[in-house]
Structure 1
Amino acid sequence: MTAATSQAQQHGAVRLTDWGVIRAAGEDARSFLHGQLTQDTLHLDDHTARLAGYCSAKGRLLASFVLWQRGPAEVLLACSADLLPQTLKRLSMFVLRAKCKLSDASADVPLHGIVGGDAAGPVWSRSTQGTADLVRLPDAAGHVRHLWAGAEAGAAPALPATDADLWRWLEVHSGVPRIVAATAEQFVPQMVNLEVVGGVNFQKGCYPGQEVVARSQYRGTLKRRAFLFDTDAAASAGQELYAATDPDQPAGMVAAAAPAPDGSGRHAVLAETKIAALDAPLHLGSASGPLLRPRALPYALPTEA
């Protein structure tokens, strides 16, 4: 058993300081978000959570959310803290006459990631733990994960602390993309497998970028996808990848990366890349940079027709 596996089996929680929360409150909150996001929010209930993207008119992801309902007239949207202010500002521009008030609730709804323990319902379900919300996230590297959202400032789960690097490593290994400031407007949802992991509803009505997203899905072959890699060097979101056979232009971009929790110096990388470039060695930063070693995704990608 590796040190990383041993650590991942512990039951503990970590404060997610790199996440924030937007609150949408009011009787039109769900219908307003339904017209803005890639996900159906009209049919949210107290037992479900959902993954969603927020796109530009060109279909590029500005942000991604884990969202759930807290009461009949309040939806909470967890996203990367480094792009929350601009995302909140942009969403607020389109509220217009809708009875929906958007605000930064990060201080009032502290988020923790929980590793291990028993699974509280199926993936993307929402339950409660005392006054807190508990969202079941996809497993990563065979380990159960939850998002814990407190009901007041300073609240925390009654669990021992776990390593922040462990949480980030598992987040990368889940294969579920989280858009950050360094990757905003870089990806159409399918380029980072967002529709594969349940973040796009193709039956819902229009939203910004919907035509581009639908066209990417139904016309022609998708030429870019996200894949998992290991590398022996430090990696970070927004770094470019290069194929050894084509050193003059990037073959892709890192969507998420995290150091292995065993202290080995290795990094796990979730990177968007040209599918055709997978036939050649891929390198980080330049064609002569650190080698990226492919790993299996935790889910199957659809066969492209």
Structure 2
Amino acid sequence: MHPILSQAHATEVHSLCDTLTLYPLDELSVFEARGTEARAFLQGQITNDIANAGPEQARLAGYCTAQGRLLATMVIVWTPDSGTAAVPNTLPEDTGVLLGLLRRDLMASVLKRLSMFVLRAKAKLNPTAFEVVGVSLATSQLKALSQQLGHDLPTAAWQALTAPTGLWLCAPSAASDAMTRWWWLAADSQRAACETLKLGYTLKTPEHWQALDIAAGLPWVEAATQDLLIPQTLNLDLIEGVSFTKGCYPGQEIVARSHYRGTVKRRMHFGQVTQTQGLMIQAGSDIFDALGSEQACGRVINSTLVAGASAADSSVAHLLFETTFEALARNALHVGGRDGALIRLGELPYATKPA
């Protein structure tokens, strides 16, 4: 069992917070950037502006090649250093530590590449021992959970809070979800705080959390989709993941040109596929238009399979995929071939109109 969850109490839920759900997220890991120039260094490497972000503000960002193609997506937050009290928006520039939430399978390659460009900057990047758990709760029960934890919780997407129990980052949710979601990051010294969480909770799989990310239109670059797509194709500019005023970073000219010239012809969309035996849908799988060209018209960005509620119910694959607006309008998209599994198109909680 996940190291954090092994200390908590999975029970039949009989508490004030009977919608509390935890999801072990072993596929995510956390790196740190320390040093008096760490923030300035990362500011010049990623697509979003972290220079003006205080310790209560997380930032979604992409990390690109010089050609503007994404090598990773990540969530960055500036926190007080260990043992330092969190006072919102008052940390001096050269204090605290930057934490980055990143897919575990990309951690080594991304840190290696970033470290190549540190040069003489006073910054060091390293993986951390933080464990990551997804937490969701009906928004109506926020007060009860806060009372049990002994501290408030962030309630708007991309807000952050450093507390004795760990770091809480509020994740975006689909507009139809009457729930609040967090990434909960806890170090060894903070896991004991789980003993104060005497609530019953429901334990769900990482796939259920990934389905919530997909419904929210939140993409994660995976190894199969590295160095292929610009930030706009993954809608990062639509979900506060790109700043067009912050200045230079690798690929900035390409990203800005696509934005200001209105040349974004492909976007990321949401869909579902009823899973049949033997069908494997993975990141990087080709998408085909049955009414268009015989060539692939797009690819899967993220996919997760959620089992049916009972043995009689079909499993459903939830997808984020990219394609052209022309192919999307024909609504005849299939995975793996023109006669492959049909994608049922869904709506994202934000508009993806042609630029």
Asked if TM exceeds 0.5, the reply is yes
Counterpart AA for 1:101: K
Q: For the structure 1 residues 153 and 112, does the alpha-carbon distance in structure 2 shift closer, same or farther, using more than 3 Å as the test? A: farther
Aligned partner of residue 66 in structure 2, secondary structure: coil
Unpaired stretches in structure 2, ≥5 consecutive residues: 1-17, 81-94, 143-152
Q: Which moved more, 1:28-37 or 1:251-260?
A: 251-260
Aligned to 2:302: 256
Cα distance between partner residues in 2 of 1:121 and 1:49? 13
Cα distance between partner residues in 1 of 2:207 and 2:156? 25
Cα distance between partner residues in 1 of 2:115 and 2:340? 42
Aligned to 1:121: 155
Counterpart AA for 2:49: D
Let me know the Cα RMSD of the aligned residues: 1.8
Q: For the structure 1 residues 204 and 218, does the alpha-carbon distance in structure 2 shift closer, same or farther, using more than 3 Å as the test? A: same
Cα distance between partner residues in 2 of 1:23 and 1:270? 28
Q: Which moved more, 1:158-167 or 1:280-289?
A: 158-167
Q: Which moved more, 1:229-238 or 1:23-32?
A: 229-238
Cα distance between partner residues in 1 of 2:349 and 2:316? 19
Match of 2:273 among 227, 231, 240: 231
Does the CA contact (< 8 Å) of 1:59 and 1:208 recur in 2? Answer: yes
In percent, how many aligned pairs have the same letter?
37
* Cα deviations by residue, 1:90-140 (Å, 9 ceiling, x for unpaired): 0000000111000111xx111111111426232110013424010011113
Does the CA contact (< 8 Å) of 1:123 and 1:136 recur in 2? Answer: yes
Q: How does 1:95-106 map to 2 (within 5 A)?
A: 95-105=118-128
Aligned to 2:172: 138
Aligned to 2:56: 47
Counterpart AA for 1:95: V
Cα distance between partner residues in 2 of 1:18 and 1:127? 22
Counterpart AA for 1:109: F
Aligned to 2:86: none
Aligned to 1:15: 24
Answer with 1 or 2: which has the greater Rg: 2
Aligned partner of residue 139 in structure 1, secondary structure: coil
* Cα deviations by residue, 1:175-206 (Å, 9 ceiling, x for unpaired): 01111111111210000101101100111010
* Cα deviations by residue, 1:7-62 (Å, 9 ceiling, x for unpaired): xx931212211011111011111100000000111112111111000000110000
Counterpart AA for 2:118: V
Aligned to 1:82: 105
Counterpart AA for 1:244: A
Does the CA contact (< 8 Å) of 1:36 and 1:54 recur in 2? Answer: yes
Unpaired stretches in structure 1, ≥5 consecutive residues: 1-8
Match of 1:24 among 33, 50, 54: 33
Aligned to 1:220: 262
Aligned to 1:192: 234
Match of 1:109 among 110, 120, 130: 130
Q: For the structure 1 residues 154 and 162, does the alpha-carbon distance in structure 2 shift closer, same or farther, using more than 3 Å as the test? A: farther
Does the CA contact (< 8 Å) of 2:155 and 2:180 recur in 1? Answer: no
Does the CA contact (< 8 Å) of 2:264 and 2:354 recur in 1? Answer: no
Aligned partner of residue 195 in structure 1, secondary structure: helix
Cα distance between partner residues in 2 of 1:130 and 1:220? 46
Does the CA contact (< 8 Å) of 1:52 and 1:65 recur in 2? Answer: yes
Aligned to 1:286: 337
* TM superposition score normalised by structure 1: 0.91
Match of 2:45 among 36, 47, 53: 36
Counterpart AA for 1:171: D
Q: For the structure 1 residues 29 and 131, does the alpha-carbon distance in structure 2 shift closer, same or farther, using more than 3 Å as the test? A: farther
